[in-house]
Amino acid sequence: MVQELPVEKARMKMNSAFRFPVAMIVVAIVLSGLDMDSSRADHPNVILVMADDLGIGDLSPTNPDCKIETPYLQTMADEGLTFLDAHTPSSVCTPTRYGLLTGRYNWRSRLAKGVLSGTSSHLIPADRPTLGHLMRRAGYHTAMIGKWHLGWDWQKNGKEIDFSKPVINGPDINGFDQYYGHCGSLDMPPYVWVDTGRITAEPDRIEGVTREEDQYGWYRKGPIGSDFKIPEVLPHLFDKSIGYVQERKDAAQGGKPFFLYLALPAPHTPIVPVPPFKDASGLNPYADFVMQVDHHMGQLLGAVKDAGLDDNTLVIFTSDNGCSPQANFPLLQEQGHNPSGIYRGHKADIYEGGHRVPLIARWPGQIEAGRTTSALACLTDLYATLEDVTEQERQAVGGEDGYSLLPVFDGEATSERDTLVSHSIGGSVAIRQGSWKLCLCAGSGGWSAPREPEAKRKGLPPLQLYNLAEDPGETTNFADDQPDKVEALLELLARQVDRGRCTEGPTLENDRDVEFLPDGVPMPVRN
């Protein structure tokens, strides 16, 4: 179910006195040269690919027991660096995309829980720095292709979208020179292609598939463009991306690098693998679709090599959250495959299966081939990482919840990150430090059992404390046995909420009053 922008009234209000107003800081940054060309010939091209609903267990580099063949991503891992403890800031689509692009925890935004729809207004304001702004400031040409899912503003006649008018407040205000894609998830209407503010073809029909008609390939009924064909969306977006690489080849070789953010709509619903991938896995359509994603990644990597850009291109592959139950976990598990690997839960949950995801980085000559790392990482770290890659000074605003992964790229065991705040679809959070993880909810916070209403009916404790080093499956709750650890983690979370950041720097405002304590749980008071 789509939930749009509920603003939760906090029971615990954070003191905003003496904070730096975000807008004032950002305006100053913009005026000081946000889009200034400072390119260096040795800065790498950057391709950031984010799959949709791909689980940590769905790739062989992150799951030795994976039953899905993913040879191209395995090769990418063999030639690069694989993170084994990487996380999305949220366990669902929209908030993770916010965190990825801004380097800021999504729960600081006005989106307290849920996701946006295909008709929601834009979430990221123009004065919030994004990866697009960051890379443009370093002299890059910036492009976004694929699933946006951060809202843009359709112009309307009354309540109806006027498809003849340009889309406003889309990726263009968030730092991208050009973009091509669709607004929401591929199961959310309207189904039209938007090319840098203009649709490519107006809807000529209403279309949709129910769950009863196809448990894997369903999508909500709505208007669809004459050139928009659901099964062709995934290969089409890769074709567009390959075309972009070819288009930018000469400029990149001439010292004008590019940044491509490719946001895939797969293997999210509608799960629509096409031949020769349909039935290729021997498992189910979801596994077939993962194989298709892998194949297209091989084509993209091949295009980079064919363009002569391989040696100076950083490619990052990840996912926006864990696997959705739409993949049919019971059927896959019967055949020995678990999309969440050894971890509990799945998409939407606060448990590890909701937000622990694949993260692979390939950068020939800069990242040693075939390495794995247990360094703690979050997708909010990519902002600070690319800031370092492009040799830019850290700003007061932008990437305030991220730590550079460049030291890990260079062979270090860890980055500066030692804490992680995770977020579920229901707005529950978890705080982790080291191996200890405190979940501030009685159940999953999402879709797996026990859901919050059920957990409360059963009288389950409102806090869950797990030691991931000993118990990666989150089976033993130590909250009652470790009150000092619970108290310390709550205080740590409160500080990070109150400061508007988890990194060093000036205190900033959150976009809303942030509530994190479950009902009936007070903040500890030290004697």
Q: How far apart are CA 233 and CA 240, in angstroms?
A: 10
The mean per-residue pLDDT over the stretch 191-202 comes to 98
Q: What is the pLDDT of residue 525?
A: 72
Find out whether 81 and 371 touch, Cβ atoms under 8 Å.
yes
What six digits make up the tokens of 427?
């707005």
**3-state SS track over 50-70:** EEECCCHHHCHHHCCCCCCCC
The mean per-residue pLDDT over the stretch 84-110 comes to 98
Find out whether 344 and 322 touch, Cβ atoms under 8 Å.
no
Res 102 pLDDT > 70: yes
Q: What is the pLDDT of residue 42?
A: 82
The mean per-residue pLDDT over the stretch 79-106 comes to 98
Q: How far apart are CA 198 and CA 391, in angstroms?
A: 35
Grade residue 143 by pLDDT with cuts at 50, 70 and 90: very high
Grade residue 129 by pLDDT with cuts at 50, 70 and 90: very high
Q: What is the pLDDT of residue 526?
A: 60
Find out whether 45 and 312 touch, Cβ atoms under 8 Å.
yes
CATH code for residues 22-402: 3.40.720.10
Res 278 pLDDT > 90: yes
Res 315 pLDDT > 70: yes
Query: Which of 13-17, 104-108, 159-163, 287-291 is least confident?
Result: 13-17
Q: What is the pLDDT of residue 520?
A: 87
User: Torsion-angle region of residue 526: left (phi > 0), alpha (psi -120 to 50) or beta?
Assistant: beta
Res 279 pLDDT > 90: yes
Find out whether 228 and 237 touch, Cβ atoms under 8 Å.
no
Query: Which of 11-25, 81-95, 121-135, 295-309 is least confident?
Result: 11-25
The mean per-residue pLDDT over the stretch 91-105 comes to 98
Q: Which H or E run contains 30?
A: helix 22-31
What are the residue boundaries of the structural domains of the chain, listed by start?
Answer: 22-402
Phi and psi dihedrals of 440, rounded to 5? -95, 60
Find out whether 45 and 257 touch, Cβ atoms under 8 Å.
yes
Res 497 pLDDT > 60: yes
Within 8 A by CB and 6+ apart from 146, the residues are 180, 181, 182, 237, 261, 262, 263, 264, 265
Share of the chain above pLDDT 70, in %: 92
The mean per-residue pLDDT over the stretch 319-331 comes to 98
CA 232 to mean position of chain CA atoms: 23
Q: What is the pLDDT of residue 182?
A: 98
Find out whether 256 and 174 touch, Cβ atoms under 8 Å.
no
Beta strand pairing status for 81-83 and 194-195? unpaired
Average confidence score pLDDT of the chain:
93
Grade residue 2 by pLDDT with cuts at 50, 70 and 90: very low
Within 8 A by CB and 6+ apart from 117, the residues are 2, 4, 184, 188
Q: What is the pLDDT of residue 39?
A: 39
- What's the farthest any 2 CA atoms get from each other in the chain? 68
